[in-house]
Amino acid sequence: MAEPKAPLPRITTGGNLGQVDATVVPRFAGPATFARLPRIDEVSDVDVAVVGVPFDAGVSYRPGARFGPTHVRESSRLLRPYNPAADVEPFATQQVVDAGDLAVNPFDIEAGIEQIYAGARAVLERAGRLVTIGGDHTIALPLLRAMAKLHGPVAVVHFDAHLDTWETYFGAKYTHGTPFRRAAEEGLMDPTGCLHVGTRGPLYAPSDLSDDRGLGFQIVQGCEMDDIGARGVIERIADRVGDRPVYVSVDIDVLDPAFAPGTGTPEAGGLTSRELLAILRSFSSLNLVGADIVEVSPAYDHAEITGIAASHVTYELISAMAKTPAKP
């Protein structure tokens, strides 16, 4: 008869089950969960659940974001329990778990959207907050539906090279370029509290910008970073969202391709990793209710550059949540 397996040596603080102890189990070993955190079935109470959505049926150029969740988890093995820049131990002050991946239909976008919504709602029955790793940006729509069900219309801070408020691609209503238009039409967002950050590159027409404003978005363009810097962006975001419940959506292509080559629609002139992480760190002062990190396409990623950036984005968002308890 096989001997029972010994429990993994984990860091446990304040009753919260944390990472596998890297001083005992090397980072290249151990569970393949985000940051080697416990699975959701290993704990009772959950503050933050990390969930993967391996779905990329809505992409318009390079495919491959369906493999993003696994890639980001692999890159997250380097994360450690203390965040000195934020002065917080994000896995000690809250119970963070990996809720695995949602099973999503890869052939039917509308069916997939319904499955993502149902899966997010199910995880939120156990977790106070949800941090989702995609997948393409189509997934933001069902996630916003789940957020609005709990919190009402939310302020959206959208980091992206692109607006993602177009009417359609090739006659399709649901794609990675349309989620925020559909969300606006469904009343999921507070139009007085939404903005894009890092938008850049060519558009189809000037009407793209006027249509976007009509949906309630303000824009901090990528080129403005040279003038106002991360501190100026932080102030613009804080002024815009106030104390509203805030949902953060990070398309990894907000970063310059030098920092995130592994993505589906790269654009030159983006933010640096340092700038993005500094901005996210300020979100500890916001009423942050959920977040997603999307559009990591591993086939185009060299040496895990993009995966590492995305894992640190996820870590900073979880750290921001640790400094501000969830509000009902």
Could you report the per-residue pLDDT of 109-151, keeping only the tens digit for each?
A: 999 999 999 999 999 999 999 999 999 999 999 999 999 999 9
- pLDDT value for 20: 95
- pLDDT value for 1: 47
- pLDDT value for 56: 98
pLDDT band for position 8 (cuts 50, 70, 90) = confident
pLDDT band for position 327 (cuts 50, 70, 90) = low
Mean pLDDT of 38-60: 97
Alpha carbons 295 and 52: distance in angstroms, whole number: 12
Alpha carbons 230 and 281: distance in angstroms, whole number: 11
- pLDDT value for 323: 79
- pLDDT value for 289: 97
Smallest CA-to-CA distance from 187 within 132, 119, 141 is with 141
Alpha carbons 113 and 277: distance in angstroms, whole number: 29
| Percentage, residues of the chain above pLDDT 90 | 94
pLDDT band for position 273 (cuts 50, 70, 90) = very high
Alpha carbons 303 and 20: distance in angstroms, whole number: 24
- Tell me the CA distances in angstroms from 300 to 67, 293, 305, one per residue in order: 11, 17, 10
User: Is the pLDDT at 71 greater than 90, yes or no?
Assistant: yes
User: Is the pLDDT at 328 greater than 60, yes or no?
Assistant: no
Contacts of 197 (CB under 8 A, 6+ apart): 157, 158, 159, 160, 220, 233, 237, 254, 279
β-partners of residue 94 are: none
Fold of 10-323: Arginase; Chain A (3.40.800)
What are the start-end ranges of the H helices in 125-252? Answer: 140-151, 179-185, 207-214, 225-241
- pLDDT value for 5: 59
Can you tell me whether residue 168 is helix, strand or coil? coil
171: number of CA atoms within 13 Å, CB side?
A: 0
User: Is the pLDDT at 162 greater than 60, yes or no?
Assistant: yes
Which residue did the predictor score with more confidence, 3 or 202?
202
Alpha carbons 140 and 147: distance in angstroms, whole number: 10
Contacts of 76 (CB under 8 A, 6+ apart): 34, 35, 36, 311, 314, 315
User: For the chain, what is the mean pLDDT?
Assistant: 95
Smallest CA-to-CA distance from 103 within 73, 127, 135 is with 135
- pLDDT value for 7: 76
Task: Name residue, tokens 């990793």.
Answer: 273
Mean pLDDT of 252-273: 98
CB 315, CB 79: distance < 8 Å? yes
- pLDDT value for 14: 85
User: Is the pLDDT at 326 greater than 80, yes or no?
Assistant: no
User: Is the pLDDT at 152 greater than 80, yes or no?
Assistant: yes
Mean pLDDT of 25-35: 95
Which residue did the predictor score with more confidence, 132 or 7?
132
Alpha carbons 70 and 93: distance in angstroms, whole number: 26
- Tell me the CA distances in angstroms from 268 to 163, 245, 253, 261, 300, one per residue in order: 15, 32, 9, 10, 16
CB 297, CB 262: distance < 8 Å? yes
Tokens read off for 134: 């995609």
What are the start-end ranges of the H helices in the chain? Answer: 68-75, 109-124, 140-151, 179-185, 207-214, 225-241, 273-281, 305-323
Mean pLDDT of 209-220: 96
Alpha carbons 25 and 19: distance in angstroms, whole number: 10
Please give the biggest Cα pair distance in the chain. Answer: 71
